[in-house]
Amino acid sequence: MIKLSALIIDDEFHARENLKAMLGDYCPEIEVIGEAESAQTARKIIYEKNPEVIFLDINMPVMDGFDFLESLPERNFSVVFVSAHMEYGIRAVKARAVDYLLKPLSIKELQLCVKNLININKKDTQVPANETSGKHKIVLTHFQGFSVYETNEIIRFEAENNYTKVFIAGKKPMTISKPLKYFEDTGGEGFFRIHKSHLINLKFLKEFINQDGGYVILQDGTKLEISRRKISEFTEKVKTILK
């Protein structure tokens, strides 16, 4: 059984304890690894424990749930808003929340939410191999569902705040609510992170120019800066790929 680590953020003690008890009694797939009554405490727990899911209250003092998400430099977790108010649904969609649960919580709604979280986690972690061609696929999960592409269709990934913009050959770019590090870990050997903001598919590399600090040009004409400290590793990687 897949088990997801979770953090509960709510300024009300009884609300945190109630949700924790409901998850413990009815959702064994969730392991609560922390509770926070404020954004400051929550930020510390996120950095230390890296939860996979956050159950987040919206109306909190000092910083509300939406402002809290925007304040994070990186967002590598799923978000479920928990609120006593219905009027924030549109903002929750724009914040790319997985679900929006209303207080008082319903056991059935909570279980459906957790089921959805598990399904999303499966799609994110399974990067299946195509047994007939030896090519790999990558699953891009977005708010409307998910899309599956061969990795050799992906030109590059670009960090965009807490998200990643994915450039696909012959397609419009997609913005995915995953940090660039996620794609660096799952993209495979054909990808190389040339800069803190750029991960490229070496299949689409056209030129490397060791001038003006160093940059690469891709087959579609895109020119990207390469970090100086990455140049040596990059050139060795290209040699390996071309052997």
Neighbours of 3 (CB within 10 A): 12
* Integer Cα distance of 129 and 126 in angstroms: 9
- pTM (whole model) above 0.85: no
pLDDT in tens, the chain (243 residues): 678 999 999 999 999 999 999 999 999 999 999 999 999 999 999 988 889 999 999 999 889 999 999 998 778 899 999 999 888 888 888 888 889 999 999 999 999 999 989 887 775 554 443 333 334 778 787 666 678 888 889 999 999 877 899 999 999 998 888 888 888 888 788 899 999 999 999 999 999 998 888 999 999 999 999 998 889 899 888 877 665
Tell me: cis bond preceding 28? Omega within 30 of 0 counts. Answer: no
Neighbours of 101 (CB within 10 A): 18
Residue 39 Cα to chain centre, angstroms: 20
